[in-house]
């Protein structure tokens, strides 16, 4: 087997094993939560008899391993189960919520990724000068502020004081694209500021590492401008670590939006997960958790595979 194909297969197998381990961990954590759905539905004043009947109706009285394997079997067949609170099919609810979250993450990525790469290239071009220091300082300051605080600051100053954008990012199918983009402007700004610094600094570090190579010195001796050397010669050879960090941050944009969605009352997967946890709706919590895990693990695997493919020693083995 070709070395690169072997490594790709190994990464895929490792990802599946990690996803299986994550499913066990998720199920175990939901079992460890205080109380259960029956208690959440009936309240603290419910009698033991009422709780027992409700648990039997919800299937909570069966052993945990039995419920885990039934849930895992359903996942493998594409069945996420049914909510034990409102009896709705989870797949339909998750599909709508996930598309909403991906919509938010997509527009954050459209802004953050090109901007981070551009700022990284600019920082390299003016290395150790005031543009480099300014870019690094501003991006590090933005990533140092907690997401919820950053969100509330934007809500107060940009949404309330200036009135430029709505403070609640509520969207619906009846809205036009322009109306949706206006509604999600503030959460997109928060997500962009959160992931920008990491991608920018990795871009800067990767390019600076390549700039030490002999062929870069040759390009400079030929009289090429500083930005041409960086863009045409250094950047293409630094693409592997840059793609890796971009993939990791794309995974965060989908998986790590829980706080942002709650702050801006955005109807996505994060808000859906928080509501399910508060109601002890275990099937919904498990469904959201395994989807988040699959997205995160999948994008990490994709980043690993891109890094493998970008390695010329693996593409052209002796």
Residue-wise burial string across 108-124, b where 16 or more C-beta atoms lie within 10 A, e elsewhere: bbeebbeebbebbbbbb
Q: 85 or 149, which is more confident?
A: 149
Domains and CATH numbers, the chain: 90-281 (1.10.3720.10)
- The Cβ of residue 49 has, within 10 Å, a number of other Cβ atoms equal to 8
Q: How many residues does the chain have?
A: 318
206-242 pLDDT tens trace: 777 776 666 666 666 666 666 666 666 666 666 767 7
The reported pTM is 0.75
Helix intervals (H) in 126-184: 130-144, 147-154, 177-183
Q: With CA atoms as reference, report the closest residue to 113 among 175, 202, 25.
A: 202
Looking at residue 167, what DSSP letter applies?
S
Per-residue pLDDT of 12-67, as tens digits, reads: 888 888 888 888 888 887 777 666 666 666 666 666 676 677 666 666 667 778 77
| Measured distance CA(212)–CA(223) in Å, rounded | 17
């Amino acid at each position: 087997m070709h070395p690169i194909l072997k490594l790709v297969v190994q990464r895929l197998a490792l990802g599946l094993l990690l996803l299986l381990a994550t499913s066990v961990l998720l199920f175990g954590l939901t079992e460890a939560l205080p109380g259960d759905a029956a208690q959440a539905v009936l309240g603290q004043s419910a009698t033991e008899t009422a709780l027992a009947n409700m648990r039997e109706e919800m299937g909570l009285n069966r052993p945990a391993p039995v419920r885990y394997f039934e849930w895992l079997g359903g996942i493998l067949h594409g069945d996420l189960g049914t909510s034990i609170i409102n009896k709705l099919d989870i797949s339909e609810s998750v599909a709508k919520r996930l598309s909403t979250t991906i919509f938010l993450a997509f527009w954050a990525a459209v802004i953050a990724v090109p901007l981070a790469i551009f700022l990284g290239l600019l920082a390299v071009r003016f290395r150790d000068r005031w543009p480099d220091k300014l870019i690094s300082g501003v991006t590090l300051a933005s990533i140092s502020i907690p997401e919820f605080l950053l969100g509330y600051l934007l809500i107060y100053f940009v949404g309330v004081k200036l009135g430029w954008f709505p403070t609640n990012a509520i969207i619906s199918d009846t809205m036009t694209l322009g109306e949706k983009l206006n509604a999600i402007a503030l959460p997109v700004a928060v997500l962009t500021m959160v992931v920008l610094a990491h991608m920018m600094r990795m871009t800067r570090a990767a390019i600076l590492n390549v700039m030490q190579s002999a062929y870069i010195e040759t390009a400079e001796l030929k009289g090429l401008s500083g930005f041409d050397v960086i863009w045409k010669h250094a950047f293409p050879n630094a693409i592997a670590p840059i793609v890796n960090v971009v993939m990791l941050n794309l995974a965060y944009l989908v998986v790590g939006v829980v706080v942002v969605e709650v702050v801006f009352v955005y109807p996505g997967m994060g808000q859906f997960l928080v509501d399910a946890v508060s109601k002890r709706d275990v099937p919904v919590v498990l469904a959201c958790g395994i989807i988040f895990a699959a997205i995160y693990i999948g994008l990490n695997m994709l980043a690993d595979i891109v890094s493998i493919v970008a390695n010329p020693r693996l593409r052209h083995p002796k």
